[in-house]
Amino acid sequence: MENTRLEALLEIYIGNWFQTGKATPVEELCPQEPQLHQALEALIATFHKTDGTLSNPDAPDPHAIEPNPLPSNIWLPGNLIYIEEIGSGAFGRVVKARDPQLDRLVAVKLVKKLSTQQAGDIISEARFLAALSDPAFLSVYGVDVEKGAIITEYVDGFDLLEISDKLSLQQQARLMATLAKALSRAHGKGILHGDIKPGNIKLDRRLQPRLLDFGLAQHMGDQPHGWGTPLYAAPEQFEGGPVDPRTDLYSLGAVFYHMLCGKAPEPGPGGKPELPGILRPNLPHSLQAITLKCLALQPSDRYGSALDLEQDLLRWLDGRDVMAPNAIANNLAQKLSGHLKDIKAWRKAGLIYDHEERMLEDSYGQLSKPLDDWIPQSRFLSFHGIVLYLGVSVLFFGSVCLFHAHHFLEITSGWLYPTLMFGLSSAALSWLAIRLKNARSVSIAYDVAGILIMPLLFLTLFREWGWLTIRQDETRALFPSGIFTNAQLQVAAILVFIQSTRRAWFTQTFALGAVAIGSFCLLHFTLILNRAWVTHLMDGQYHLVGIDLIPLLCVLAIGGHLLEKRDREFLARPAYLAATFLLILILELLALNGKVLEVMGLSSSAPVGAPEAFDPIFFDTMVTLVFNGILLHILARILTRLPSPLLREQSIWLYRLTPFLILEPLALMISKEMYSPFYHWFYLLSSLGILWLSGYLQRKSFYYAGIGNTLMALYYITSHYQWLEHIFWPLTLITTGGLLLFMGNRLYERVSGH
C-alpha cells in the first residue's frame, strides 16, 4: 500500500517538475502523512539521478581534446589542412593532412630543427623515395627543403604489429615475400633502407605492406650514418662494420621473427635469440629455418640477396623444400660441438676406448640429424610412419598376390581387371603423393607404394598386349615357360628405375632414394639375365654370378661417392648400403666353390685329413669363407677411419656379420664329419678366441658369436667322441663351468679392488 501511495506522490512531483521546472516540497505533497516524508525524499533524489543519467548527454566533457585545429608550432606547406599528428620521433613529427585541391589525404613529415645537414637529408630521403616506384614504398608528392617537409601519400590501414597476430602463417609469409621483393628492387638501385622495423611497416586496407621512413637510407658503399633500431638492427650496424643488402635482410628477419613469435628477437647466450619453435611450438621448421638464416650473426651466413629470401618464402608457400638449412639440426649440431671436443679429449686421456669414442660420436651425430622420413634412419619412430609403411607393404604384397594369381595360376583372365587394379591404384597413389606434398611422410609413403606397383602394371600390359616377346634360349630366360620374356622384365625395370629416380630427385627423400637404388639393382639383375645367371646358380657356378655383379658394385660405390660429393645424401646413403651388402654377397658367391683360391693359385693340394674324404673344392670354399670374414672385418676397420660419415655408417653392418662369417664355415665343415678331428678343436679354439677378442675389442657381435660357436663346438665334440656315454664328460663340463664362474668372480674382485 505504502509503495503505491509513494509512487502516486512521486508522479505528482514529476509532473510539477517537468511543467514548472520547480521542485515541490515534500510537506506540500503530503501534509497529512509525515511518516512518508523520508521515503519520498529518497525517491525524489533517485528521480533526479535517474533522469540525469537518462538524458543530458551533451554535458561538457572535461577530457575533450584540444579543439584548435592547427597547433601553433606546426607549419604545413601549401594550403594543406591539418588533421592530426600521427607520429613523432627524434627527427620531428609526421602529421596527417588533407590536400583540398586534389581532395586526398597526405602524410607530411616535418623535421624539427633544420640545419644544412638535415636539409640535405630531407632531399636525399625524398630522392630515395622518388627513385623507388614500387607499390611497397610510399609515393612522394612533394618536398619543401626550406621548411623541412616531405609530402607523401597517406597509408590508411594498420600498423604491422597491430594485426600481424591475426594473420595466418601463409599471409605472414606472403607479406614477407612482398617486402623482400620490394627490398631487392631498392637494393638493385643501390639503396639500403637501414632502419627496417615493425614501426616502419604499414599495411593498407588490402593488407599490402608499405615500407616507410627512408630517413636512415643510404647508397651502398657510403659511410654508415645511422644505427637503426636496437633489436632489429644487424650486429654490423652496431659494430660499425660495412653494411650491405644483407644488413637489411637481418632487420627484415627480425621483423619476421617478431611477427611469428610475438616479440622481437632478444639476443640470448652467444648472441642468438631464442628459437622461434620454442616460443611458438607449432611453427613449421622451414619458416623457423628461414627466420634464423636471416638472423645469422655473420652476414655471410644469411641469404645472399633479398631475392633469395623471397624465393625461399615462395618455395615454402608452394609446399616445396626451402634452402635454409634445418634449424633444429643446425642448432643442435652447434650445441653438440663442445661435447664432441670433450669426447676427443677423453679418448686422448684414455678415459674411453676407441669404440666408445665412435659410439658417442655416432649418438651425437644421430641427435643432429633431422627427423628423417626414412624409417631406418629416423631419430624418432612415429606410429603414423609405422602404419603408413605397413600399408605400403600390405598393398604391395596384395598386388603381388593378384599378379601371381593372374599370370601364374590364371585365376583371372584378360588385361582389364589387373590393369585397373594396378594402373588405377598406382596412378591414384602417385597423384595423391603430389597433391598431399605438404603432408610429407604421407606423400612419400604414397609415392613409394605407387612406384612399387608399377612393374606389375608394366609386365601385365607387356604380356597382355604381346609387346617385347623376343624369346631367349631357355637357359637364359628367368621364366623358361615364356610367361615373361627377359626383354619385358628389362624394359619394366628401366621404366621403374626412371620413375623412382625422378621422384627421388624431386622429393630429395631417403625413402624414394632407397627405392631408386633398389630399382637400379633390380635393373642390373634383369640385364644380367642374358648372361644366364639363373642357370649358373642352378649349376653351382656361383662365382660366375658373383663376377656378373661386380660392375654393379663398382657403379654403386663410385656413384655413391659422387652423389655424396654433390650433397645428394638421399641417394648416396642407400647406394652405399646396397654396395655393402652386394660386396658381402659377391665375396660369398666367389667363395662358394673355392674359385678364388684356384684363380690365385692357392688351391689346396695337400690333404689335411683322410685322403679319401678330402674334397678340395669344399675345403677351398671353407677357407675362403673364413678369409672373407677376416677381410670384411679389416674393411670395416678401414671404413671407420674414412672421412665420409656415410661410409662410416656402413661399417656397423660389416662388424656385426664378420664373426659369424669367420666361424660358420668351420661349423659347416665339422658337421660334414669329413675331416680330421683336429678341426673340432680348431673350431672350439677359434670360438674361444673370438670370445676373448670380444673383450679386447669391446664388440658384442664377437661376444654373441663366441658364446654361440663355443657351445656348438662342444656339441660337435661331444657327439663325435660319443663322450655322452661316460659320466666323466658331463662332470668335466660342469666342473669347468664352476671354475669359470669362480674365475669370473676373482676377475671381478680384481677390477673392483676388493
Choose between 45 and 416: whose C-beta lies nearer to other proteins. Answer: 45
User: What binding mask, one character per residue, do residues 44-63 give for other proteins by CB under 8 A, x or -?
Assistant: --xx-xxx-xxxxxxxxx-x
In 3D space, the residue among 717, 716, 560, 736 whose CA is nearest the CA of residue 644 turns out to be: 560
Helix (H) or strand (E) run with residue 158 in it = strand 157-159
Stretch that binds other proteins, among 9-17, 232-240, 501-509, 607-615 (CB under 8 A): 9-17
Choose between 41 and 342: whose C-beta lies nearer to other proteins. Answer: 41
* Structural contact between residues 703 and 691, judged by C-beta atoms closer than 8 angstroms: yes
Choose between 54 and 349: whose C-beta lies nearer to other proteins. Answer: 54
Q: How far is the CB of 56 from other proteins (least distance, A)?
A: 8
Alpha-carbon distance of 338 to 358, in angstroms, equals 16
Alpha-carbon distance of 694 to 309, in angstroms, equals 54
Alpha-carbon distance of 225 to 513, in angstroms, equals 52
* Structural contact between residues 705 and 659, judged by C-beta atoms closer than 8 angstroms: yes
Among 42, 424, 634, 711, binds other proteins (CB under 8 A): 42
Residue type, 33: E
The yes or no reply on residue 21 touching other proteins (CB under 8 A) is no
Alpha-carbon distance of 111 to 117, in angstroms, equals 12
The yes or no reply on residue 474 touching other proteins (CB under 8 A) is no
Q: How far is the CB of 161 from other proteins (least distance, A)?
A: 14
Rounded alpha-carbon distances, angstroms, from residue 255 to 175, 258, 264: 11, 5, 7
Cell (9 digits) for 619: 675345403
Q: In degrees, to the nearest 5, what angle opens at C-alpha 294 toward C-alphas 365 and 170?
A: 95
Choose between 15 and 89: whose C-beta lies nearer to other proteins. Answer: 15
Among 7, 41, 165, 749, binds other proteins (CB under 8 A): 7
What number of other Cβ atoms are within 10 A of residue 481's Cβ? 8
Size of the site for other proteins (CB under 8 A): 37
Q: How far is the CB of 136 from other proteins (least distance, A)?
A: 21
Among 10, 119, 275, 652, binds other proteins (CB under 8 A): 10
The yes or no reply on residue 14 touching other proteins (CB under 8 A) is yes
User: What binding mask, one character per residue, do residues 84-123 give for other proteins by CB under 8 A, x or -?
Assistant: x-----------x-x------x------------------
- Positions 63 through 82 that interact with other proteins (CB under 8 A): 63-65, 67, 69, 81
The yes or no reply on residue 43 touching other proteins (CB under 8 A) is yes
Choose between 105 and 693: whose C-beta lies nearer to other proteins. Answer: 105
Q: Torsions phi, psi of 510, nearest 5?
A: -70, -35
The number of residues making up the chain comes to: 754
The yes or no reply on residue 207 touching other proteins (CB under 8 A) is no
Rounded alpha-carbon distances, angstroms, from residue 323 to 16, 439, 503: 84, 18, 19
Alpha helices in 191-244 (DSSP H): 235-238
User: What binding mask, one character per residue, do residues 311-340 give for other proteins by CB under 8 A, x or -?
Assistant: ------------------------------
Residue 111, beta-bridge partner list: 92
Choose between 156 and 222: whose C-beta lies nearer to other proteins. Answer: 156
Among 36, 70, 83, 167, binds other proteins (CB under 8 A): 83
Cell (9 digits) for 729: 664328460
Stretch that binds other proteins, among 14-22, 107-115, 377-385, 398-406 (CB under 8 A): 14-22
Alpha-carbon distance of 478 to 518, in angstroms, equals 19
Choose between 67 and 466: whose C-beta lies nearer to other proteins. Answer: 67
In 3D space, the residue among 229, 203, 235 whose CA is nearest the CA of residue 216 turns out to be: 229
What number of other Cβ atoms are within 10 A of residue 289's Cβ? 24
Choose between 85 and 354: whose C-beta lies nearer to other proteins. Answer: 85
Q: How far is the CB of 84 from other proteins (least distance, A)?
A: 4
What number of other Cβ atoms are within 10 A of residue 595's Cβ? 22
- Positions 146 through 185 that interact with other proteins (CB under 8 A): 158
Residues that bind other proteins (CB under 8 A): 3, 6-8, 10-11, 14-15, 18, 42-43, 46-47, 49-51, 53-61, 63-65, 67, 69, 81, 83-84, 96, 98, 105, 158
